[in-house]
Structure 1
Amino acid sequence: MGMLVITAQMSADASIGPSIGWYEGGGEHEQAGEDEVRLADAFLLGRKTYAALAPIWTATPGAFADRVNAMPKHVASRTPAESLTWNAEPVKGDLPDAVRALKATGNLLTYGCGEFAFELLKHGLVDEVRFWVHPVVWSEAARPFHGLGHVRMRLKSSTTFPNGVVRNNYEPLGVDT
């Protein structure tokens, strides 16, 4: 059985909104982020995250982008699936059953901490949540799982990179709605 990992980049004040001008690539954390992708067999994405990432990655050159673009993507949506052209297929049927079937085929990586990720947590499908905290305060309203409920977690490990980025790996313990 594969693992399902939720991963999210955020500022020190937990800003995860669409204006990620705070993000500075090229730091020591980049290799660890690439390794995270290399350990995944497929992406499991919500419709909004898929729509946001597809134009970025399809326009990004290089070997790592080629890896990301070639990976299978499974996209969950409550609305009829729009055109899924970025090596993707819709998640069909009951979400918990479909995700368990996907996990049986390998490791899944989910980006973001919105409605879809919260739904995965509610159903006990997530093995690990990773928060990549960057040393900047950005003051956006969007926060992980904001307004959706409470997520209880246990810290499994923490890695501090020389540029100040900290990756905290958590085991989800449950959700209070």
Structure 2
Amino acid sequence: MGRLIVSAQMTADAVMDQNNQWFDPELESEQYGADQLRAADALLLGRETYEVFSSVWPKMTGEPGGLADRINSLPKHVASRTLQGPLTWNSTLIKGDVLERVAELKRELPGTLLSYGFGELAHHLAGHGLIDEVRFWLHPVVWGEGLRPIQDGRSPVRMRLIGATTFSSGVVLLCYRPVSN
């Protein structure tokens, strides 16, 4: 049975959507993140993440390290109420109940179903016990404005810390297991 891992990059003040200046591919934390992607069997993406990723990654191929080739080759499952299929970029639109389909994917996959970001989709899945691990990558930056994982109107998601790694760059990887309320 597969596991669903949600991986979310954020600043010290929990901004998640303004990350274009946080990353340095030479940092050990970025190498760890690349290893996370290489270990995935498939991706689970919400509409916004799919639209951003599919506009960037297919144009990148053959770069050192093979990260673009890896993300481009992985099967992708996209949860959206507004997109219409068929999708491009080795992607399948989830039809019907997203909770049922994600549970099926976890039963079908031998390893990891990886999802990026902690937005509406992750909240929905966490609230129904489908997430096995949440990885928050905390960057040593205070950004100010931006999207945060907790938005008005969303119920709390309680988690238990299962691991923490501090990288020399100051990035801290916090690994949690969602727990029932």
Pairwise same-fold verdict (TM > 0.5): yes
Cα distance, 1:21–1:65 mapped onto 2, change above 3 Å:
closer
Shift of 1:124: 0.8
Unaligned regions of 5+ residues in structure 2, if any?
A: none
Matching residue within 163, 169, 177 for 1:163: 169
The 8 Å contact of residues 121 and 174 in structure 1, kept in 2 or not, is answered as: no
Q: Partner of 1:92 in structure 2?
A: 95
- Say if 2:159 is the partner of 1:128: no
Measure the CA separation in 1 of the matches of 2:124 and 2:21: 27
State the percentage of identical aligned residues.
49
**SS at structure 2 position matched to 1:78:** coil
Measure the CA separation in 2 of the matches of 1:20 and 1:31: 17
The 8 Å contact of residues 6 and 115 in structure 2, kept in 1 or not, is answered as: yes
- Please give the per-residue CA displacement for 1:116-167, whole angstroms capped at 9, x wherever unaligned: 1111111110000000001111112311132222110000000001111100
- Say if 2:169 is the partner of 1:152: no
Shift of 1:28: 1.1
Measure the CA separation in 2 of the matches of 1:164 and 1:55: 30
Q: Partner of 2:67 in structure 1?
A: 64
- Say if 2:21 is the partner of 1:15: no
**SS at structure 1 position matched to 2:19:** coil
Measure the CA separation in 2 of the matches of 1:90 and 1:32: 29
Shift of 1:80: 4.1
Which aligned pairs between 1:4-83 and structure 2 lie closer than 5 A? Answer: 4-17=4-17, 19-26=18-25, 27-61=27-61, 62=63, 63-81=66-84
Unaligned regions of 5+ residues in structure 1, if any?
A: none
Aligned length: 174
Measure the CA separation in 1 of the matches of 2:164 and 2:83: 39
